[in-house]
Amino acid sequence: MTVTSRSVNKPGSAEFGLFCNPESRRVEGFSQALGRTLRQHPQLIPWQWVLEGRPWEELLQQRPNYLRLESPGRNWTIEQQLLVRGADLADEESANGWRRLPAAAASALANDPGRLLPLRQWFLAWRRILLGLADWAKRLGLDSNWLCPPADVICQFDKPACQKELEKAGLPVPPALGVPRNFDELWEMMRQSGTRRIFLKPAHGSSASGVVAFESRRTDLQAFSTVSMISSSDGTRLYNQRRIQTYRGAQAVRQLVDAVCAERCLAQVWIPKAGLSGGPFDLRVVVIGGRARQVMVRLGKGPMTNSQLLGGKGEVAVVRERMGPEAWERMLALGEQAMTKCFPASLYAGLDILVEPDFRTARILEINSFGDLLPRLLHEGRDTYTWEVEAAVRRRKVQVSTKGA
């Protein structure tokens, strides 16, 4: 898809500048909220232009008061360009041997939906792009105009780094064992900590991509994962699927864990989740302007509860009643504290929060920069994007008044 300036922008106010894939439903949802609230249309800066080095600055006909980063996902052209760019970037963790793909091989890839491509390589390019945008905004004196600054997005796309921030703030999270390079390192981490059940999460993945839930019972090993392994002429390929697959026995589990560890993963203790409707659940809580707004109950058919896995949604009222008002408010406050303590410059984020079987104890699983896509889920009559527009305007007024004081 070739993106032109005519295809991405409409005449009118350019107070909001969006770095985005213009065709995405995220852009559609935010644009509709901006139109309803302020009767404006955002100025769209396509990721394609940024990656190709095209003169995207020309799209900003005036200095935007608000800069918003949108997900580069669900666009094969962008994904491939990030992989190509990341192929030649230096990695401060190169000694660990995270999986890489040469630039020529990345350029020759065909779109193969579901295939797990080198996540660390993708992240290196994504980080470079975001750092470049941060430098650009700083040069122009726009660094306070980000709804969520690039540095925060980078951290939230690096699960070990984000875990450290949450731990430093004293917030409850599943204990982390480390970043194992292979099955043997993971097994030693588990042995030393006395842990028999862990979650292995790709550091730069999303939507449960590549996640493994692994447990040892005496001499028996078992793992659950969204990953399927397929042999091909160029070796074993990994594919994500929406059905959770079970691996049993040392050989199968070792092969799976070795393959997923090559993507760079965070190992966390597997904390049991509370159950609802015959299966486990967790909560997606969107915090906007320091306040918890939308809450979605994500049901699971196995250890994973990501909404991409088609487990369905539960009733918020049922969970709130089961937890009771005090525990429910503590859970919401936990999400709010994570943003104010760890990412105070970010206007919003989606947090995945685990509720333990006692329905009283909550822990933060992770923070998602682009976890605000919750269509048709309203809080006090507003969707997430409407809340974000209103919160951005309020924050801007405070910034302006503070500068003028």
In angstroms, rounded to a whole number, what is the distance separating the alpha carbons of residues 186 and 190?
A: 6
Q: Is residue 238 within 8 Å of residue 212, measured between CB atoms?
A: no
244 and 312 both lie in a single domain: no
| Residue 5 pLDDT > 50 | no
In angstroms, rounded to a whole number, what is the distance separating the alpha carbons of residues 207 and 139?
A: 35
| Residue 11 pLDDT > 50 | no
Please write the tens of the pLDDT for every residue from 60-87.
Answer: 878 899 999 999 999 999 999 999 999 9
Report the pLDDT value the prediction gives residue 236, as an integer from 0 to 100. 85
45 and 128 both lie in a single domain: yes
239 and 289 both lie in a single domain: no
> Of the ranges 12-26, 223-237, 274-288, which is most confident?
274-288
302 and 368 both lie in a single domain: yes
| Residue 2 pLDDT > 70 | no
The Cβ of residue 202 has, within 10 Å, a number of other Cβ atoms equal to 24
SS3 268: strand
Q: Between the CA of residue 165 and those of 33, 153, 154, 232, 303, what are the distances in Å?
A: 32, 13, 13, 40, 25
- Return the sign of the alpha-carbon dihedral for residues 113, 115, 116, 119: negative
329 and 397 both lie in a single domain: yes
CATH number at residue 322: 3.30.470.20
In angstroms, rounded to a whole number, what is the distance separating the alpha carbons of residues 171 and 338?
A: 7
What is the band of 285 on the pLDDT scale with cuts at 50, 70, 90? very high
Q: Which of 269, 294, 328 is the last residue of a domain?
A: 269
Please write the tens of the pLDDT for every residue from 221-238.
Answer: 999 998 999 988 777 899
Q: Is residue 174 within 8 Å of residue 271, measured between CB atoms?
A: yes
Residues in the chain: 405
Would 76 be classed as within a structural domain?
yes
Half-sphere exposure of 100 (CA within 13 A, CB side): 20
Would 195 be classed as within a structural domain?
yes
Q: Which of 207, 238, 269 is the last residue of a domain?
A: 269
Please write the tens of the pLDDT for every residue from 82-123.
Answer: 999 999 999 999 999 999 999 999 999 999 999 999 999 999
Structure tokens, 170: 């004293």
Would 169 be classed as within a structural domain?
no
What is the band of 404 on the pLDDT scale with cuts at 50, 70, 90? low
140 and 2 both lie in a single domain: yes
Report the pLDDT value the prediction gives residue 316, as an integer from 0 to 100. 97
Structure tokens, 251: 């050989």
In angstroms, rounded to a whole number, what is the distance separating the alpha carbons of residues 162 and 164?
A: 5
Quick one: which H or E segment has residue 222? strand 220-232
In angstroms, rounded to a whole number, what is the distance separating the alpha carbons of residues 322 and 329?
A: 13
In angstroms, rounded to a whole number, what is the distance separating the alpha carbons of residues 212 and 223?
A: 7
74 and 201 both lie in a single domain: no
265 and 290 both lie in a single domain: no
Query: Any idea what the Cα angle at residue 173 is, between residues 256 and 211, rounded to 5°?
Result: 20
Please write the tens of the pLDDT for every residue from 345-395.
Answer: 999 999 999 999 999 999 999 999 999 999 999 999 999 999 999 999 999
Quick one: which H or E segment has residue 84? helix 76-87
Q: Between the CA of residue 342 and those of 167, 178, 231, 368, what are the distances in Å?
A: 10, 20, 42, 13
Please write the tens of the pLDDT for every residue from 149-181.
Answer: 999 999 999 999 999 999 999 999 999 999 999
Q: What is the percent of the chain with per-residue pLDDT over 90, rounded to a whole number?
A: 84
127 and 212 both lie in a single domain: no
240 and 305 both lie in a single domain: no
Q: Which of 124, 145, 166 is the last residue of a domain?
A: 145
> What value does the mean pLDDT take over residues 245-260?
95
| Residue 292 pLDDT > 70 | yes
Would 114 be classed as within a structural domain?
yes
Q: Is residue 64 within 8 Å of residue 29, measured between CB atoms?
A: no
Report the pLDDT value the prediction gives residue 12, as an integer from 0 to 100. 45
259 and 141 both lie in a single domain: no
Would 153 be classed as within a structural domain?
no
| Residue 10 pLDDT > 60 | no
Residues 6+ apart with CB under 8 A from 266: 159, 160, 163, 176, 178, 179, 200, 201, 203
Please write the tens of the pLDDT for every residue from 24-49.
Answer: 999 999 999 999 999 999 999 999 99
* Number of domains making up the chain: 3
> What value does the mean pLDDT take over residues 336-340?
98
In angstroms, rounded to a whole number, what is the distance separating the alpha carbons of residues 107 and 19?
A: 24
Would 164 be classed as within a structural domain?
no
Q: Is residue 118 within 8 Å of residue 263, measured between CB atoms?
A: yes
Report the pLDDT value the prediction gives residue 88, as an integer from 0 to 100. 97
Would 157 be classed as within a structural domain?
no
Q: Is residue 85 within 8 Å of residue 128, measured between CB atoms?
A: yes
Would 166 be classed as within a structural domain?
no
What is the band of 9 on the pLDDT scale with cuts at 50, 70, 90? low
Instruction: Give the alpha-carbon dihedral of 242, 243, 246, 252, to 10 degrees.
Output: -50
Domain of residue 376 covers: 273-403
Residue with tokens 């992240």: 123
297 and 381 both lie in a single domain: yes
